[in-house]
């Protein structure tokens, strides 16, 4: 079983950093990018169909929606950085639909996270890591037919088309897969149905617009793929426990 985390859909420019000791984490994916940095010890990381052993000052650069898991080997002291794709927008647009052939790079010294105290320093650090990745590996289009790659294609389609007519039947036609097969695969790999995922994605985008724009609620609903304001209000309250108007007042 693979599960979906909401990193990268709550806010459009988010940067989260934390440390973990001897951490094991099962297969999961999220829209955000993730850096896994080994400070001490060893860590086993599975990304897609590839397995890596990371040592001190190694960084695994997880692309958005890449399925991955962590397994501590003996002792491991690691740092995790999870950040939204919009924080490195140019890189995100250039490599959307691609994944690294090799997700791991090595640093000569550990990053000083205490110095990353502004969005400018955070972006500088992240673009430096992006540059190192580009210098050290090729990038492959997501075009094969394993289950994880098919799921990635579905998620990528949602990422690009959530504001439009974005049903699984439309996606099945676009990807040239059987609808019933995609529906079953999505539930098997995420433990939720496609409509549930799409509604969570759209509402998370609406939350961002409510907090960071002055757009009318009716306009936000349309921009997030809801032609019916009643459906938007119902889904918004179901997911956030607040009406859109109340949510805006609270933030």
Task: Tell me the DSSP string of 235-246.
Answer: HHHHHHSS-HHH
Q: Which domains does the chain have, with CATH numbers?
A: 3-141 (2.60.120.10), 147-250 (1.10.10.60)
Residue (of 19, 95, 103) closest to 58 by Cα position:
103
Question: Would you give per-residue pLDDT tens digits along the chain (251 residues)?
Answer: 444 555 555 545 789 898 888 777 777 778 789 999 999 999 999 987 789 999 999 999 999 878 888 888 888 899 999 998 888 989 999 998 889 999 999 998 888 999 999 999 999 999 999 999 999 999 988 765 577 778 878 988 898 899 998 999 999 999 999 999 999 999 887 778 999 989 988 998 898 889 889 999 999 999 999 999 999 999 999 988 999 999 998 87
Cβ contact 126:83 at 8 Å: yes
Looking only at the bridges linking them, the beta strands covering 33-47 and 3-4 are unpaired
* Residue 179: per-residue pLDDT: 96
* Residue 144: per-residue pLDDT: 58
User: Which DSSP helix (H) or strand (E) runs through 204?
Assistant: helix 194-212
């Amino acid at each position: 079983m693979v599960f979906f985390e909401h990193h990268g859909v709550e806010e459009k420019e988010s940067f989260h950093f934390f440390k973990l000791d001897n951490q094991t984490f099962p297969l999961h994916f999220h829209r955000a990018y993730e850096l896994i940095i080994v400070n001490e010890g060893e860590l086993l990381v599975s990304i897609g169909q590839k397995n890596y052993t990371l040592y001190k000052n190694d960084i695994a650069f997880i692309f958005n929606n890449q399925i991955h898991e962590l397994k501590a080997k003996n002792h491991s002291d690691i740092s995790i950085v999870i950040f939204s794709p919009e924080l490195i927008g140019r890189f995100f647009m250039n490599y959307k639909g691609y994944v690294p052939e090799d997700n791991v790079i090595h640093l000569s010294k550990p990053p000083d996270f205490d110095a990353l105290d502004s969005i400018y320093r955070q972006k500088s650090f992240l673009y430096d890591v992006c540059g190192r990745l580009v210098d050290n590996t090729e990038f492959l289009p997501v075009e094969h037919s394993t289950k994880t790659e098919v799921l990635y294609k579905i998620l990528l389609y949602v990422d690009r088309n959530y504001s439009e007519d974005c049903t699984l039947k439309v996606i099945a036609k676009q990807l040239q897969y059987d609808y019933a097969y995609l529906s079953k695969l999505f539930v098997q790999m995420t433990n939720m149905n496609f409509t549930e995922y799409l509604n969570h994605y759209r509402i998370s985008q609406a939350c961002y617009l409510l907090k960071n724009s002055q757009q009318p609620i009716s306009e936000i609903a349309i921009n997030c793929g809801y032609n019916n304001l009643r459906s938007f209000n119902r889904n918004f309250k179901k997911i956030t426990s607040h009406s859109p108007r109340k949510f805006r007042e609270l933030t």
